[in-house]
Structure 1
Amino acid sequence: MHLGMTGWVHIRGEQTALDNSVKKTKESDKDEWPPRFCKFHLKTEGKPEVEVAFTDARRLGRVRLVDCPGKDIRKYSPLVENGPDPVIDLDIFTEQYLKNKMRSRHVPIKAFLLDQTMISGIGNWVADETLYHAKLHPEQYCDEFSDAEITSLFKSIRYVCQTAVDKLGDSGQFPEHWLFSYRWGKGSKGHSLPNGETLAFIKVGGRTSCYVPAVQKKTGHIPPKAETMPFKGATGDEASKKPSTEKAEKRKETAKRKPELAEDETNAPATAPTKKKTRKMGEHDTEPSDETRNVGSRRSTRLRGK
């Protein structure tokens, strides 16, 4: 199962963790079964039987049936194509594994972390959280980090993923110093951490990434024409930053040329303004004859008839 943005698994008679849809459901609808937006539900064999329902209001989730023994499901597609899980596969996901994979690619580290063929289970916010704790810039190429930085990233991945699993993904129990609680709603007033560090946003690998510029410094190269989107209300250097996109560069170039254009216009020789030619109704200007009017009228009538 891939839950997407709004998919969830319900168990009849049980309150499943992170079931935000239940909190927003009317009291009269909470006992409804199968629940609203249910796409399928099933019952287990044996006693007591358990009923499970999969709901997805936006239909972004995916469910695939795989005919294989349950314990071997990760040996079958599509799971066999995935990389190791940082919580379960401790014998595979090692610091050396991470170092080898990072040195074999030349992509921004954020894009590397989101690649499920490299590491399973790291989504957008998890990647941002791990990079923040490791103090690594999300745009820097993954093959340009030092051994010490890779060690820090490995520990950060293990820490963030294990903590999230231990809390069953309940963000209300995440540590206060995590980026998670302050990253949502870019452009709002909550643009900084409690310690005063300013948050900013950039596009990396097609995804919006939240990071802390004062903490996550660049120590290597990043892709050209990176787009920076600081919070509204940011102070200091972050407030003065503008997106270094192609359009922004063109505007800068135009601004540089404006003084030159103005000077050229000033030095240009003055020329008399040209007057528009006007004609008065005279002997050469005749109104359409009655015959011409009749032809036009007949043509219009024929077209309307068709």
Structure 2
Amino acid sequence: MVKTYIDQWLYTFPWSQVISGFWQKYPNPYSGHILSEDVYYRTITDDQTLLTKRLLTKTNKIPRWGERIFSRGSVSTIAFIIEESICDLKQKTLTTITKNINLTYLMIVDETCIYRPDQNDETRTICEKKVLATSELFGFKTVLETFAIKRYKKNQELASLGLEFTLHKLFLPHSPLPPVIDKMPELPEVEYARKLLSRFLNHTHITKVSYPDADSLARRFMNCTPTTFANSLVNRKIIDIKRHGKYLWFEMADQQPLTPIFHFGMSGGFRIKSAPDVTYAKEIKLVKMKAKNEVDGQCESFVYDEQLDADLSWPPRFTRIRFTTATGHDVCYTDLRKFGRFHLVDSITPLSCLPLSKLGFDPYLDMPKLEKFIDLAQSYRSASIELKALLLDQSFCAGIGNWIADEILYQSSFHPRKRLNTLNDEQLKLLHKNIDYVIRTAVDAGGNERFPREWLFHYRWTNKRETEDYYKLAIKFDTVGGRTSAYVPQRQKLSNVEQQQVDVKLAAKERKRKSKEKTEEEDSVDEENKKIIDSADIKVSKRKISIKKMISTDSEVNEPLVKRKVPIAPSVISNRPQRAYAPGSGRPSTSVTEKTIDAVRTIIEDDPHSTYQQIETILGISSTAINSIIHDYLNLKKKGQFHCVFDIIMGDESWFYHYDPELKEQSKVWMSTTDPRPTKVHRNKSAGKRIVAIFFMKYVPLETGATVNASWYANTCLPQVFTAVSEGRETRGLRGLFFHDE
């Protein structure tokens, strides 16, 4: 089966510019998954057609479910793509065909894109896209093809946005660059949206609410449905637009206890027709605005230049909710990634209800005085929290997001991993000052990112590639508080003690990650072994049933055999777990026969732990006959296993598997009298596992002739362990440690 996906993208640039930008689109803020591009063939034919072949290398992240199916390392994390393009200058078409050349045993993805001028408007370019996903991997065809289409939808959107970014950079150099969607709306953007919405929606009614894509948006309504949310807006007069943190809501005149609340998510925002853009970070100004006073100078209206107004498409792409007001304004809520959230609070005071009641202070509307701020910081529930995580905690300070937190720390010269309990009052005063400075400066910029040139903001958007700030100092990237953090080590320094603590934490985190990967690999191996063992157990069970039938139905009277030794090869013995079987029926007149000897040999080969009672139950012969067969004919003897004391291994966490205990008699296996004792090896499936933290490492061998008992632990083992631990804890020794001995 082949899965197909067809899409179309409209560029507001003429075909010639789009083609020129196509060859220069890498790198861009959306192409982090593109590692390299190389042109290895290019020629111009006689009919003025440009033929080009490029090799692209991309990241190939394996999903979590794929890691469970395919062993780690068996699937490449890099995909090689061949892109063939045909640029026909006469027909004004650019056709690109891309196809992966590795990982074809999993699936093949063919993409065809055709760029041509818009027939209705030559100043625009349409890109028609078609992709075919094919997999021949038995058992996983549908899964892999569906995954390929889903990933393509995401990547092709980023590719189109990346080309738009390049086109604006090349042909609109004096206009602000379009926002990078990866930057989430933060307090300045939401405040800017609130002000402009207030200008156009205050003291008006919403007459209609529609959802262009209601099905995919339904799960973003937290405590209501799209219908109830729309009903809470229609025919109600808006008297003001309120905000706290990153949440925005409409205050209604009728005082009904129904308040609609919006959260922009990662890429949400509002746009109003014939009004300035109200989206996050303010999109490209494709229009020019003129402001004039009307109605006795008390109302400002915004109009577009007629030529530029004709270039606008309405409703804009990615419109999720559309409002129409009594004054004729057309309002669209747009959201590329559909991560926005909508709440309907049954109260006229939403600040007292969830989700707003759990938020901390708003640094723009209600920045606390210095004394109160110091009290809040010192009484924070986790005194050792890292500063980046503290600023991102919305219950402490509502509205601060990733880039603002980095900017505050940059202006304060604090490292993102510096801990709250290391700050003195002077440093807390500096932090308080820069929170207020960064927030107010960003809000005053009006959402257009006209921040001071020395701000870190202008230099951090490089997809984690190292760069320099305004002062030519290197910018580094780290994951702190669950988010990518940009900082300048030469400016934001840690003390030696703090740096050592960070190094220890990162090392422990790396060990934990490797331990988790190892555990996942072991779990996958255990699952595979379980399938093999279950399959083998089914065969063994059928074989034992056939043996039982053979013995019980054998009515032939045989003369006793002459005693002879039948050696059994130890190499075929496997110590499988014990299993109970139904009693056999009938007993032959003479128990020791060729068939009973073969039956006993088969049972012991299948399970060397078999007991007399189990063999008697299966075959229905006496224990005397079984004893004679085992010792006289098979020359076997049961021996116990050799035990030893193993190392105690140091690590931050390790998995320990535990098993259902066996009796000593149960653990014995039948062996030849000339064979040495076997080492006990657990082959049965573990009953469970427990993660155990170990804080020391010491190899303590057991002396010859010694016994592992309380005396050995108290006088030999533990003193050496205590010494090793004390050497590693020079300042604290054994204080704060707990030792447990069963």
TM-score tier after normalising by the smaller chain length: 0.5 to 0.7
Partner of 1:38: 319
Residue 121 (structure 1) aligned with residue 399 (structure 2): yes
State the 1:249 CA deviation.
Answer: 10
Describe how 1:113-262 pairs up with structure 2 within 5 A: 113-171=391-449, 173-188=450-465, 191-219=467-495, 221=498, 223=502, 225=504, 245-246=510-511
State the 1:76 CA deviation.
Answer: 2.6
**Residue 372 of structure 2 aligns to a residue in which SS?**
helix
Residue 66 (structure 1) aligned with residue 345 (structure 2): yes
User: 1:82·1:119 contact (CA, 8 Å) conserved in 2?
Assistant: yes
Residue 8 (structure 1) aligned with residue 286 (structure 2): no
Query: For the aligned residues, what is the CA RMSD?
Result: 2.9
Change (3 A) 1:184 1:227: farther
User: 1:135·1:215 contact (CA, 8 Å) conserved in 2?
Assistant: yes
Partner of 1:296: none
State the 1:15 CA deviation.
Answer: 1.9
Amino acid in the other structure paired with 1:152: L
State the 1:226 CA deviation.
Answer: 5.2
State the 1:13 CA deviation.
Answer: 1.1
User: 2:277·2:283 contact (CA, 8 Å) conserved in 1?
Assistant: no
State the 1:112 CA deviation.
Answer: 0.6
User: 1:22·1:30 contact (CA, 8 Å) conserved in 2?
Assistant: no
Change (3 A) 1:41 1:136: same
Aligned mates of 1:154, 1:12 — CA distance in 2: 39
Change (3 A) 1:143 1:75: same
Partner of 1:290: none
**Residue 263 of structure 2 aligns to a residue in which SS?**
coil
User: 1:128·1:209 contact (CA, 8 Å) conserved in 2?
Assistant: yes
Describe how 1:17-96 pairs up with structure 2 within 5 A: 17=278, 18-20=281-283, 31-45=312-326, 48-69=327-348, 72-90=349-367, 93-96=368-371
Amino acid in the other structure paired with 2:353: Y
State the 1:187 CA deviation.
Answer: 4.7
State the 1:78 CA deviation.
Answer: 1.1
Aligned mates of 2:357, 2:310 — CA distance in 1: 40
User: 1:200·1:213 contact (CA, 8 Å) conserved in 2?
Assistant: yes
State the 1:174 CA deviation.
Answer: 0.5
User: 1:203·1:226 contact (CA, 8 Å) conserved in 2?
Assistant: no
Larger radius of gyration: 2
User: 1:182·1:193 contact (CA, 8 Å) conserved in 2?
Assistant: yes
Change (3 A) 1:170 1:43: same
**Residue 434 of structure 2 aligns to a residue in which SS?**
helix
Change (3 A) 1:205 1:8: same
Change (3 A) 1:141 1:43: same
| Greater fraction strand | 2
Partner of 1:282: none
State the 1:186 CA deviation.
Answer: 4.1
Aligned mates of 1:169, 1:215 — CA distance in 2: 28
User: 2:359·2:396 contact (CA, 8 Å) conserved in 1?
Assistant: yes
User: 2:455·2:470 contact (CA, 8 Å) conserved in 1?
Assistant: no
Aligned mates of 1:138, 1:98 — CA distance in 2: 19
State the 1:194 CA deviation.
Answer: 2.8
Structure with more relative contact order (C-alpha pairs < 8 Å, separation 6 or more): 1
State the 1:129 CA deviation.
Answer: 0.2
Change (3 A) 1:82 1:249: closer
State how many pairs are aligned: 225
User: 1:8·1:19 contact (CA, 8 Å) conserved in 2?
Assistant: no
Amino acid in the other structure paired with 1:207: R
Amino acid in the other structure paired with 1:175: P
State the 1:224 CA deviation.
Answer: 5.2
Change (3 A) 1:31 1:169: closer
The alignment's TM-score, normalised by the length of structure 2, stands at: 0.28
The alignment's TM-score, normalised by the length of structure 1, stands at: 0.65
Partner of 1:269: none
State the 1:67 CA deviation.
Answer: 4.0
**Residue 52 of structure 1 aligns to a residue in which SS?**
strand
Aligned mates of 1:58, 1:30 — CA distance in 2: 25
Amino acid in the other structure paired with 2:339: L
Task: Give a deviation string over 1:229-266, Cα, whole Å, max 9, x none.
Answer: xxxxxxxxxxxxxx99439999xxxxxxxxxxxxxxxx
Task: Give a deviation string over 1:169-217, Cα, whole Å, max 9, x none.
Answer: 221x11001000001114546x111322111111111111111111111
Change (3 A) 1:151 1:33: same
Aligned mates of 2:512, 2:310 — CA distance in 1: 51
User: Which blocks of at least 5 consecutive residues in structure 2 are unaligned?
Assistant: 1-261, 287-307, 516-742
Change (3 A) 1:192 1:9: same
**Residue 131 of structure 1 aligns to a residue in which SS?**
helix
Describe how 1:277-296 pairs up with structure 2 within 5 A: none
Partner of 2:581: none
User: 2:407·2:457 contact (CA, 8 Å) conserved in 1?
Assistant: yes
Change (3 A) 1:248 1:111: closer
User: 1:164·1:170 contact (CA, 8 Å) conserved in 2?
Assistant: no
Task: Give a deviation string over 1:134-171, Cα, whole Å, max 9, x none.
Answer: 11111011122111111001000000000111112221
Aligned mates of 1:22, 1:57 — CA distance in 2: 19
User: 2:387·2:420 contact (CA, 8 Å) conserved in 1?
Assistant: yes
